[in-house]
């Protein structure tokens, strides 16, 4: 009897088997090549026809609020119960893809994450996870008698809270542009562009770049002072936000950064004011100073998180 996990995005579905507590036989398929998610998963099963898959867990890039799932950026729709029957499984778990990221941090080793600054994680204590990417995912984890529990919410859409003069300029730029300044509008790919444009306006400069990858590249090679200032401010804002998450739930188990952006410039973050802003909490500086912060560097953390969720919740 075999178990599998999948990371289902808008473009690709990645699948893997669980063998001796680790991932194996990772394969990627284009979603557009298959009319249904069941067809894609069965294509994976067909490559291992000697195995009998009995359980699986899917991390999907869309809300999970019941039996019916509608993918956000591809046309797949499915019923969890019907998919379980179609695949002939005894157990099938379906979780949001960022919930999978959250569960991953409970099993990552030191080679799969990079610590930024001081602090020591307390075992089985509360954890916060956030991930700047296309948007801004946020989760908290708490340990219960049944194991780890991810707390749902929409933390990426809280108000952006400016801390310094440049933050205030960014807040004003976003408020004028959208009528509201949310955390996601600064901590995401488009958020990098917003910071770049806001600093340019604040300093009376031209802002010729409009792609976050280009801004990041120019910052890392030092070829553009405005891009360097943008990435520095991005790191400061990440630090303040991470510190707020730490205070929200007393996350002495640590605060983790996932998503597709931060791992691209881990060393830059470590040398930035990220940790200084994390700890800049006035009378509660000493409280947060002992809480560690990490960047998830493991590229397969979505699959690892689905595996962690399956191992905890599938008793078969």
> Does 7 appear as a known binding residue?
yes
- Provide the whole-model pTM: 0.93
Percent of the chain, pLDDT > 90? 93
Does the annotation place 33 within a ligand binding site? no
Which CATH number is 291's domain given? 3.40.367.20
Tell me the Cα Rg of the chain.
21
Query: In terms of domains, do 45 and 76 share one?
Result: yes
Residue 247, Cβ density class (10 Å: 0-12 exposed, 13-18 middle, ≥19 buried) = middle
Cα separation, 153 vs 244, whole angstroms: 15
The parent domain of residue 22 ranges over: 2-102+301-313
128 and 222 both lie in a single domain = yes
The total of other beta-carbon atoms located within 10 Å of residue 37's CB is 24
The domain that holds 68 is classified in CATH as: 3.30.420.40
Whole-number pLDDT of residue 152: 86
Same domain, 153 and 38: no
Residue-wise pLDDT tens digits, 94-120? 999 999 999 999 999 999 999 999 999
Is position 222 annotated in a ligand binding site?
A: no
Q: Are residues 167 and 69 in the same domain?
A: no
The answer to whether residues 126 and 181 belong to one domain is yes
Please tell me whether 8 is known to bind a ligand: yes
Contact between residue 277 and residue 243 where contact means Cβ atoms under 8 Å apart: yes
Split at pLDDT 50, 70, 90, the class of 34 is very high
Q: Which helix (H) or strand (E) holds 166?
A: helix 165-178
Q: Is 175 annotated as a binding residue?
A: no
Residues 168 and 307 in one domain: no
């Amino acid at each position: 009897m075999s178990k599998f996990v999948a990371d289902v995005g808008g473009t690709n579905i990645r699948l893997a088997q669980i063998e001796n507590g680790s991932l194996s036989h990772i394969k990627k398929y284009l979603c557009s090549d298959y009319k249904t998610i069941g067809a894609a998963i069965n294509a994976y099963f067909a490559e291992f026809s000697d195995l009998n898959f009995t359980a699986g867990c899917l991390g999907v890039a869309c809300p999970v609020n019941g039996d019916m799932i509608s993918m956000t950026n591809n046309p797949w729709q499915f019923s969890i119960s019907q998919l379980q029957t179609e695949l002939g499984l005894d157990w099938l778990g379906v979780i949001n893809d960022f919930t999978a990221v959250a569960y991953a941090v409970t099993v990552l080793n030191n080679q799969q994450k990079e610590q930024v600054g001081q602090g020591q994680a307390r075992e089985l204590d509360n954890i916060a996870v956030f991930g700047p990417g296309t948007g801004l995912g946020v989760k908290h984890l708490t340990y219960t008698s049944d194991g780890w529990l991810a707390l749902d919410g929409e933390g990426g859409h809280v108000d952006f809270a400016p801390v310094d003069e440049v933050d205030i300029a960014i807040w004003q730029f976003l408020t004028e542009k959208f009528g509201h300044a949310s955390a996601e509008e600064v901590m995401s790919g488009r958020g990098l562009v917003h910071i770049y444009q806001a600093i340019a306006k604040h300093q009376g400069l031209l802002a010729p770049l409009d792609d976050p990858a280009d801004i990041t590249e120019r910052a890392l090679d030092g070829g553009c002072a405005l891009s360097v200032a943008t990435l520095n401010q991005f790191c400061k804002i990440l630090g303040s936000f991470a510190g707020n998450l730490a205070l929200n739930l007393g996350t002495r188990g640590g605060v983790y950064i996932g998503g597709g952006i931060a791992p691209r410039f881990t060393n830059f973050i470590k040398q930035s004011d990220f940790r200084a802003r994390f700890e800049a909490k006035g009378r509660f500086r000493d409280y947060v100073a002992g809480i560690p912060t990490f960047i998830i560097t493991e590229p397969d953390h979505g699959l690892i998180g689905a595996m962690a969720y399956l191992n905890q919740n599938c008793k078969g």
